[in-house]
């Protein structure tokens, strides 16, 4: 574990909107050191810098967010940004049509007590499922998916103004541990993740009479894949154009200005898209009610 005695925690905390009361998840100083990869002395310095605490404990979301903006280059949140190293590749690599092998797994919360029932995968566009394995409380699909990107930009002046203001005024934050922010709370705190930022941007666009919708998918690099959410804007009653606020905001700090511009209307070939109207969840009927489960997705280039 490395020590970063030169870190200005006061400056890092200026980027962090503390988790509101009632939403905190408190963790001890040892876990805080693991997240920030720092020494006991740094934990003491962080505490004296004004991060919210409860006794000797820190809020988990606050720790991830202060680590993200710490500037050490070694905190777990900063290292997680290496997952998105795809955006430092040449622009042409963001749009080439590519075929991948994909596997999608989900587990019922009832575990071995699951009575079976029906499973449905998310409606991944251009995916062909070949195999479907099931066991007690578990399902796995395997197949292939073809993904391509497309360069474009939003031209509508009102939509561009809303977009420019939104990505300038908001910052990326790891979410609360207890539920997602509402659009109103996202706007008031001016922070959020891909889910909450997209909800707030969607509401902003529709509130100005512009056509907008939420889209879900899986963003990946290497074999890793993560759930992702973004917005689409309908330009001139014709084309739906992606607006990815979380990635554009992250690009301004961790990636490149070119990728930030790419997020305004262009689509990426490392994003497996769920069909409009569906979500990234696996739908499962274990009882009479449907359970929506977040799947684990692995993917590799063929």
Asked whether residue 225 falls in the same domain as residue 150, the answer is yes
**What is the per-residue pLDDT across 251-287, written as a single tens digit (0 to 9) for each?**
878 888 899 999 999 999 989 999 999 999 999 998 7
How many domains are contained in the chain? 2
In the three-class reduction of DSSP (H, G, I as helix; E, B as strand; rest coil), residue 270 is classed as: coil
pTM of the model: 0.91
Asked whether residue 16 falls in the same domain as residue 104, the answer is no
- 232, pLDDT greater than 50: yes
CA distance 292 to 166: 30
Give the CATH number, domain containing residue 90: 3.10.620
Asked whether residue 68 falls in the same domain as residue 92, the answer is no
In a domain, 1, yes or no: no
The strand pairing partners of 58, in sequence order, are 27, 53
In a domain, 81, yes or no: no
Q: Show the domain range for 181.
A: 86-302
Asked whether residue 55 falls in the same domain as residue 103, the answer is no
**What is the per-residue pLDDT across 32-45, written as a single tens digit (0 to 9) for each?**
999 999 999 999 99
pLDDT at 84 (0 to 100): 66
Asked whether residue 173 falls in the same domain as residue 220, the answer is yes
In a domain, 80, yes or no: no
Position with higher pLDDT, 3 vs 233: 233
In a domain, 2, yes or no: no
Asked whether residue 184 falls in the same domain as residue 238, the answer is yes
In a domain, 209, yes or no: yes
**What is the per-residue pLDDT across 130-143, written as a single tens digit (0 to 9) for each?**
989 999 899 999 99
Question: Of 49, 74, 99, which residue is a domain's last?
Answer: 74
**What is the per-residue pLDDT across 68-118, written as a single tens digit (0 to 9) for each?**
999 998 999 998 887 666 555 667 788 999 999 999 999 999 998 888 788
In a domain, 55, yes or no: yes
Asked whether residue 192 falls in the same domain as residue 127, the answer is yes
In a domain, 79, yes or no: no
């Amino acid at each position: 574990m490395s020590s970063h005695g030169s870190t200005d925690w006061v400056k890092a905390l200026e980027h962090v909107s503390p988790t509101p009361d009632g939403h905190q998840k408190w963790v001890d100083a040892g876990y805080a050191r693991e997240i920030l990869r720092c020494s006991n002395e740094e934990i003491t310095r962080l505490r004296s810098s004004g991060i919210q605490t409860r006794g000797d404990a820190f809020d988990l979301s606050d720790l991830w967010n202060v680590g993200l903006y710490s500037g050490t280059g070694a905190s777990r949140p900063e290292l997680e940004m290496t997952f998105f190293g795809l955006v430092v590749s040449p622009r042409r690599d963001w749009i080439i049509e590519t075929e991948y092998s994909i596997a999608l797994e989900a587990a019922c919360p009832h575990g071995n007590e699951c009575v079976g029932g029906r499973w449905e995968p998310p409606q991944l566009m251009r995916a062909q499922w070949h195999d479907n394995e099931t066991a007690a409380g578990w399902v796995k699909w395997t197949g292939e998916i073809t993904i391509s990107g497309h360069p474009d930009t939003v031209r509508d002046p009102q939509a561009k103004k809303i977009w420019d203001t939104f990505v300038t005024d908001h910052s990326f934050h790891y979410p609360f541990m207890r539920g997602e922010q509402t659009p109103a709370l996202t706007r008031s705190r001016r922070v959020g993740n891909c889910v909450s930022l997209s909800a707030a941007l969607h509401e902003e666009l529709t509130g100005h009479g512009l056509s907008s919708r939420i889209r879900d998918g899986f963003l990946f690099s290497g074999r890793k894949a993560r759930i992702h959410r973004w917005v689409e804007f309908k330009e001139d009653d014709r084309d739906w154009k992606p607006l990815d606020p979380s990635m554009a905001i992250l690009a301004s700090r961790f990636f490149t200005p070119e990728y930030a511009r790419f997020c305004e209307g262009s689509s990426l070939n490392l994003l497996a898209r769920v069909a409009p109207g569906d979500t990234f969840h696996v739908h499962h009927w274990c009882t009479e009610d449907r359970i929506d489960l977040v799947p684990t997705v692995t993917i590799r280039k063929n």
